[in-house]
């Protein structure tokens, strides 16, 4: 999705800026108007910072059909920049986990085959049915397949690549979630678009660490904490090793201030 009336140009990236229901409606129409898989990426402040110093990652993001405002920081930055006439404000935050749940419900209704690629320790997903848990409620039971894919996605082996290709050929999934973490997951999607198209995938979305929540390995933040945009803090308490990632936040604030100080053309 290029710059349009549905997006806001933020840090040179066209971020989707409509409601989640409008996004789902757009996807339901767009998915049948193309022979290529729709690519959904979910940038947050950490990834915006990475994109500024990593041109290749920025290029990966630009190849997406939709860039979803997953991080609350993007919403706050756009609103601040709008106050100074530097940008339009993003309408609302759309979290990757919420969209993933909606897409799974959609897949269930359409009887789509779903492949979960990446993450570790989800062997129960290889069974016929898996009950996904989020917000304390079950989203229902789905026919899913899970595949670890790579021990180290940065250094995939020929054997791993062959097994992944064989799995796609066997399963022929219509919906694929990729959870290798940024920037590896975005790179994997872009470099495997031919495989996705050959396997007749209709939609592929990167989901980061969402599998842990979907399978109930980690508890999601309560609704009131999510409403404050502090879901990241709840996850940090459960996984203290993620603290280093928060170092990107001051850099993101710095990028926002740079945008404010730029001279208008």
- Residue 70 domain boundaries: 7-260
Q: Where are the beta strands (DSSP E) in the chain?
A: 7-10, 13-16, 38-41, 66-67, 114-118, 129-134, 137-147, 175-179, 203-206
Cα atoms in the 13 Å half-sphere on the side-chain side of 221: 19
| 1: in domain | no
% residues pLDDT > 70 (the chain): 87
SS3 14: strand
N residues, the chain: 265
| 2: in domain | no
242-248: list long-range contacts, CB under 8 Å, 24+ apart: 245/46, 248/45, 248/46, 248/49, 248/50
- The stretch 218-236 carries a mean pLDDT of 75
Q: What is the pLDDT of residue 151?
A: 86
Q: What is the pLDDT of residue 114?
A: 92
| Alpha-carbon separation of residue 22 from 92, 143, 171 (angstroms) | 11, 27, 30
Of 93, 94, 79, 67, the closest CA to residue 259 belongs to: 79
Q: What is the pLDDT of residue 127?
A: 43
* Residues 152-198 pLDDT 10s: 888 999 999 999 999 999 999 999 999 999 999 999 999 999 999 99
Is residue 40 within 8 Å of 196, Cβ to Cβ? no
Residue 77 has pLDDT above 80, yes or no: yes
Between 125 and 32, the higher pLDDT residue: 32
| 265: in domain | no
DSSP string over 17-55: -S-HHHHHHHHHHHTTS-SSPEEEE---HHHHHHHHH-H
**pTM of this prediction?**
0.89
How many domains, in total, are found in the chain?
Answer: 1
């Amino acid at each position: 999705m290029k710059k349009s009336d549905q997006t806001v140009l933020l840090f040179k990236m066209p971020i989707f800026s409509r409601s989640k229901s409008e996004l789902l409606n757009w996807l339901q129409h767009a998915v049948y108007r193309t022979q290529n898989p729709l690519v959904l990426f979910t940038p947050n402040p950490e990834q915006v910072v990475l994109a500024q110093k990593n041109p290749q990652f920025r290029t990966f993001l630009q190849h997406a059909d939709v860039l979803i405002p997953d991080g609350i920081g993007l919403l706050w930055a756009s609103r601040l920049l709008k106050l100074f006439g530097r940008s339009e404000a993003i309408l609302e935050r759309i979290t990757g986990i919420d969209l993933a749940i909606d897409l799974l419900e959609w897949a269930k209704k359409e009887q789509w085959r779903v492949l979960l690629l990446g993450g570790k320790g989800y062997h129960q997903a290889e069974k016929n049915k898996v009950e996904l848990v989020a917000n304390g409620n079950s989203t229902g039971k789905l026919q899913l397949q899970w595949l670890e894919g790579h021990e180290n996605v940065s250094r995939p082996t020929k054997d791993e690549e062959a097994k992944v290709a064989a799995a796609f050929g066997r399963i022929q999934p219509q919906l694929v979630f990729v959870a290798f973490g940024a920037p590896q997951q975005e790179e994997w999607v872009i470099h495997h678009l031919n495989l996705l198209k050959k396997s007749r995938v209709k939609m592929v979305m990167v989901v980061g660490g969402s599998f842990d929540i979907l399978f109930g390995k980690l508890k999601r933040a309560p609704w009131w904490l999510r409403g404050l945009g502090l879901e990241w803090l709840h996850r940090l308490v459960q996984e203290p090793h993620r603290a280093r990632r928060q170092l990107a936040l001051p850099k993101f604030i710095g990028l926002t201030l740079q945008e404010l100080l730029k001279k208008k053309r």
